[in-house]
Structure 1
Amino acid sequence: MASWLRSKAQRFEGFLDGRTKSPTNETATAPAVKAASETNRPTPQNSTLLQAFEWHTPGGHWSRLANTVSTLSDVGITAFWLPPGCKANDPHGNGYDCYDLWDLGEFDQKWTRATKWGSREELDELIAKAKSSDVLIIWDTVLNHKTAGDAKEECWAVEVDRQDRTVEQTAPRKIEPWIHFNFPGRGDHYSSLKWHWQHFSGTDWDQRSQKNAIYKIVDPPESLPRPGAAVDPNWRKKDWATDVDDSNGNNDYLMFSNIDYSNAEVREDVQKWGEWMVSEVGVDGFRLDAVPHISWMFTRGWIRIAKEAAKRQNRELFIMGEFYNSNVNKILQWMDRMDSGVYAYDIPLLSNFAKVSMAKNKLDVDLRKVFKNTLIQHRPSNAVTLVTSHDTQPGQAVDTPIAPYFKTLAYAIMLLRREGLPCVFWGDLYGTKGPHTSSAACEGKLPALVLGRKLFAYGEQTDYLQSRTSIGWVRHGTWDRADGCVVIMSIGGAAKNSMFVGPTKAGQVWTDILGNCGDAITIDDRGYGIFRCADKSVAVYVRKEAPGRADFGACHPAKFTMQ
């Protein structure tokens, strides 16, 4: 009975695929290819971002990255997203456990001078090498919290419900968190601000009671306005920020000691740090961590000031926010509160990748709808697309499984289409360490996809929505990057489709740069070719004699082995 049901289901799937194929060549209108620009301005190289670390990357990474700049630039990487290289709460911290923003591995604090990633001198060398190869430096920026204060400090607080931070579960009482930061190794260098309880709105540990909880820091009773007395117009009740995401009742608090951006000293210090990172350290942009949890008004102002610092040096500043939510409207709401140039991660697209790749039955998915309700659909020019990150890799808090075969397809979608700014993951390029060690993804062919984007993914785009399980598209090239490419993929059986590349390419022979399909496709007199891919696979066809085809020798997996 079970085999009979499977047979019926397979026949029904085939019926659905047949009903949803694109029009045949006889009825389709050949898509127009844009003529050369009258000004013949050079087509700029496609941008490709690399998350240049994974959660378990070994220490000394600044020097390791400096040695890879040339190779990665040659293959098509144009920007490095670096980890938060500020001083963490211990020598092995990744930087998300931020202790001192101003210490980039320069001062002897927290039992080390260098950070896990390296010393300030090694960071400067990396930035210099990147700039010499026109590779931008994007700094991962943790502005939500600080951790591992230098001393305990008494303050008043209430415990709040973990599921609803607007619900106070205790009366105000004195607690004793590690919340005084005096930075003994750095002193007053760069910044003289010493942090006290007034600079925070919450914390998670009371040394006095030895208890972990979410504590909202409140005003001491003696500082509260007395009934009937005149109230200072500048007085503000200490509370969570209200201009944050509304999950958990109020999503201001995330972890550790939560920074209070209603405090003027805090705002001034963190804004000056952003200017310093641009003007003195030389970063080209910021990846803002955990933006749902930080005052949106402060974030908008911080971005404006940082961009002004870059403008004074005749530079543009790149800003992307990490708003981890599969609801695209939540992300759009945050983007609308920022300026028009801000980018955000397309988490809804990542969620769609996961659903498609892990579906047990292809009746449950439709590859043609992978962009539905995504940032690519709503803000294609400001969407950062990704397949994996340090947050979503196996074992992490938001582990998002992607079937191994599908990673190659997902990267092809990210890298070879017009929409979005693709972000390649270090662990997919070089493999990952730690308890879930893995080799490079895409059977080692990810560098070839990145290089394919650099060389061939240009010009107008024509989609071929062949079926629920197979799609394709053509990039028609530009006047000075004329070759273009053809992509066809399947999450089911082997697929083929007749696709138009243009009559000017008649007689050309096109082959798959990934080597997944051995067919040589000859373009007919009308400009069509019949392109194929194997089951659960993708093929990327380019003219066999196209300039740059010889460069694919540089994509050998042996060149992408982490030392």
Structure 2
Amino acid sequence: MHNPTLMQFFHWYYPAGGTLWHEAAERAGWLADIGISLVWLPPAYKADTGAQSVGYDTYDLFDLGEFDQKGGRATKYGDKAALLAAIAALKSHHIGVLLDVVLNHKMGADEQERIQVNRVEIEDREEIEDQAIDATAWTRFTFPARQGQYSQFVWDHKCFSGIDLIEDPAEKGIFKIVNDYTRDGWNEEVDDELGNYDYLMGANIEFRNPAVTAELAHWGRWVMNETHCDGFRLDAVKHIPAWFYRDWIDKIQADAAQPMLVIAEYWSHKTAILLQYLEQVAGKTMLFDAPLQMNFHHASTQGAEFDLRQVFSDTLVAADPAHAVTLVDNHDTQPLQALEAPVAPWFKPLAYALILLREQGVPTVFYPDLFGASYEDKDQEGNVRAIELPAIPGLEALIRARQLYAHGRQTDYFDDAHCVAFHRHGTGERPGCVVIMSNSGEGEKRLRLGADFAHGRLRDYLGQHEATVTLDETGAGIFRCRAAGVSVWVDAG
């Protein structure tokens, strides 16, 4: 795939009502036309909160909007028929489809069980009380509406390592479930935040149970055959032992008709930790570049105080570009969400130019940045806030420019704290471009592109400047951009 471009086709506050699958089908042709080659869809299976759920409170992986469970048949995004139609429409326009996979936990159990648990210190998960207590918990999933179709597997307390709510006694907290697989405590090869970050929420899946791993491999094969998807986005992998996904991906790839693209979300701002995870999974997945997203956030909030020369410092795309998926914002970083660190609208054209037009990384476009979004929710103080996320001017043009002009080797001119540039030299078959941006006043650089470009004329593809740049006999010329803006200079012919 040449210059792959991923789009996250949803956000946390996408309206309920079952319209997303229809929208994806309707927009498929236009998305392909502008240069989107991959679409990441939200969790497509039934969640605990049913048709109101974004999908991360997983209930039944085998219910893609087909069974009357959790208040209805369809999910927030539509029913199974609409999902399959959307995938077919996207693939008919040569757009690959990634499905969101949430295997860390399950919520909304159908039955309670009498179990034993150990209380766990919330701020240090390695501190586990020696004395187990008897308690009642919602840990048995039978999926009565599905009646064993696609899978007859029943999840019970032996399939989980922890839970956050018990009854008799009634307590909230974190509790390690006592079973044959949890004797040694939490899983290894997870993030060491809070001592051990195996437990996140709900009924925490126990991957050391071989029946569980067999069931999840069965589901992977089933969902590939059922939907004909092209890959997966793996949620919350910092809480899931790396050895599980290393093995699961092998099983998925072995059964896939063609190689599946796998992108994992390990949300850490420490590149060394991301590199460690890639080593643990033997490089079998790509990772979102959370450090770069945080750099963009800081650049947008600090304005002219931010040193643009450092925008790629300590990022995954700088350390391991072959495994980096770059992004500007996502459903977790958008305003009022758990990892809130949004990039201010003024900086987003610069940020998108830095991920869409460079040689390194696979860029991700976030739904609200292309289409806009409006929503309300409570902030951390409990106050209701109205949020407007504007569509970013010029983003469609930048996506198109990736396919038209982001070709050939790259020369960087990161020599000024407030104005940086880079040159894509083009190839024998495809043209290149010069990208220049400023986070302060008007930007200007004299660049020598080389004798191959002597006497060339370039225009600003984004239309920020009417005048063209004419290069001299050495291929040198003066390139400009507006204050706090970006320009993409391409062959005027």
Shared fold (TM-score, shorter chain, > 0.5)? yes
* Partner residue, 2:26: 67
Superposition map of 1:45-444 within 5 A = 45-59=2-16, 60=18, 61-90=20-49, 91-169=51-129, 171-219=131-179, 237=183, 239-310=185-256, 313=257, 315-359=258-302, 362=305, 365-435=306-376, 436-442=386-392, 444=393
SS in 2 for 1:117: coil
Q: Quick one: distance in 2 between partners of 1:541 and 1:207?
A: 65
Q: Does 1:471 align with 2:417?
A: no
Residue of structure 1 in register with 2:382 after alignment = none
What is the DSSP-based 3-state SS (H/G/I as helix, E as strand, rest coil) of the residue aligned with 1:395?
A: coil
Counterpart CA distance in 1 for 2:361 and 2:231 is 17
Q: Which amino acid aligns with 2:14?
A: T
1:319 alignment partner AA: V
Deviates more, 1:251-260 or 1:168-177: 168-177
Q: Percent identity?
A: 40
Question: Take 2:423 and 2:364, find their aligned partners in 1: how far apart are those partners?
Answer: 22
Deviation string, structure 1 residues 292-349 (Cα, Å, up to 9, x no partner)? 1112111110011011111xx2x11111110101001111111111132420011111
Q: How far is the alpha carbon of 1:507 from its aligned partner?
A: 3.7
Q: Per-residue deviation at 1:169?
A: 4.6
Conserved? CA contact 1:84–1:142, under 8 Å: yes
Instruction: Tell me which amino acid in the other structure corresponds to 1:304.
Output: D
* Pair member with larger Rg: 1
Q: 1-side partners of 2:205 and 2:89: how far apart?
A: 34
Cα distance in 2 for partners of 1:401, 1:135 equals 27
CA displacement at 1:58 relative to structure 2: 1.6
What is the Cα deviation at residue 269 of structure 1? 0.4
1:151-170 per-position Cα deviation (integer Å, ceiling 9, x unaligned): 11111001211111111257
Question: Is the contact between residue 160 and residue 170 of structure 1 (CA under 8 Å) also seen in structure 2?
Answer: no
Unaligned 5+ segments in structure 2 are: 377-385
The answer to whether the Cα contact below 8 Å between 2:249 and 2:284 also exists between their aligned partners in 1 is: no
2:429 is matched with which residue? 480
The alignment status of 1:529 with 2:488, answered yes or no, reads no
Listed one character per residue, the Cα deviations across residues 399-418 of structure 1 (whole Å, up to 9, x for unaligned) are 01323211111110000110
**What code does the residue aligned with 1:533 have?**
C
The answer to which structure, 1 or 2, has the higher relative contact order (CA under 8 A, 6+ apart) is: 1
Tell whether the 8 Å contact from 1:429 to 1:446 is kept in structure 2 after alignment.
Answer: yes
Deviates more, 1:188-197 or 1:202-211: 202-211
Conserved in 1, the CA contact under 8 Å of 2:24 and 2:90?
no
Provide, for residues 12-33 of structure 1, a one-character-per-residue CA deviation record: whole Å limited to 9, x for no partner: xxxxxxxxxxxxxxxxxxxxxx
> Would you say the 8 A contact 1:465–1:471 is kept in 2?
yes
Instruction: Say if 1:83 and 1:95, in contact at 8 Å, map to a contact too.
Output: yes
1:494–1:533 contact (8 Å) kept in structure 2: yes
Structure 1: distance between partners of 2:389 and 2:267: 26
Rounded Cα–Cα distance in structure 2 between residues aligned with 1:195 and 1:466: 58
Alpha-carbon distance, 1:361 to partner: 5.7
Measure, in 1, the Cα distance between the counterparts of 2:46 and 2:107. 10
Amino acid at match of 2:27: T
CA distance in 1, matches of 2:391, 2:485: 14
Alignment partner of 1:154: what SS? Answer: strand
Q: Alpha-carbon deviation of 1:373?
A: 1.1
Instruction: Give, in whole Å, the separation in 2 of the partners of 1:274 and 1:124.
Output: 16
TM value normalised by structure 2: 0.94
Question: Where does residue 493 of structure 1 map in the other structure?
Answer: 441
Post-superposition shift, 1:501?
3.4
What is the alpha-carbon distance in structure 2 between the residues aligned to residue 162 and residue 455 of structure 1?
Answer: 51
Distance 1:259 1:470 in 2: 49
Q: 1:451 to 1:360 in 2, by over 3 A?
A: closer
Q: What whole-Å deviation, never above 9, does each CA across 1:352-376 have from its counterpart, x for those lacking one?
A: 11222212662xx321121111111
Deviations 1:153-211, CA, capped at 9 Å, x for gaps: 11100121111111125731112121111001111111111111111000111133332
Q: Check whether the contact 2:10–2:366 (CA below 8 A) recurs between aligned residues.
A: yes
Deviates more, 1:332-341 or 1:383-392: 332-341
* CA RMSD in angstroms, aligned pairs only: 1.6
| Deviation (angstroms), 1:505 | 3.7
> Which digits, 9 at most, give the CA deviation of each residue in 1:373-395, with x for residues without a partner?
11111101110000100000000
For the residues of structure 2 that align with 1:403 and 1:427, how far apart are their CA atoms? 13
Secondary structure of residue in 2 paired with 1:153: strand
Contact 2:304 2:418 in 1 (8 A): no
Residue type at the aligned position of 1:298: F
| Contact 1:217-1:238 at 8 Å conserved across structures | no
Cα distance in 1 between the residues matched to 2:298 and 2:125? 31
Displacement, 1:249?
Answer: 0.9
For the 8 Å contact 2:44–2:55, the answer to whether it is kept is yes
Question: CA 1:380 to 1:277, structure 2 compared with 1: closer, same or farther past 3 Å?
Answer: same
Equivalenced residues, count: 481
**One-letter amino acid of the counterpart of residue 349, structure 1:** L
- Aligned twin of 1:551: none
Amino acid in the other structure paired with 1:387: V
Distance 1:325 1:405 in 2: 25
Do the aligned partners of residues 485 and 395 (structure 1) sit closer, same or farther apart at CA in structure 2, a change above 3 Å counting? Answer: same
Unaligned runs of 5+ in 1: 1-43, 224-234, 546-563
Structure 1 residue runs of 4 or more that deviate by more than 6 Å after TM superposition:
none
Deviation at 1:110, TM superposition (A): 0.9
Q: SS of 2:437's equivalent?
A: strand
TM-score by length of 1: 0.83
AA in 2 matched with 1:538? V
**2:380 maps to what in 1?**
none
SS for the counterpart of 1:121 is helix
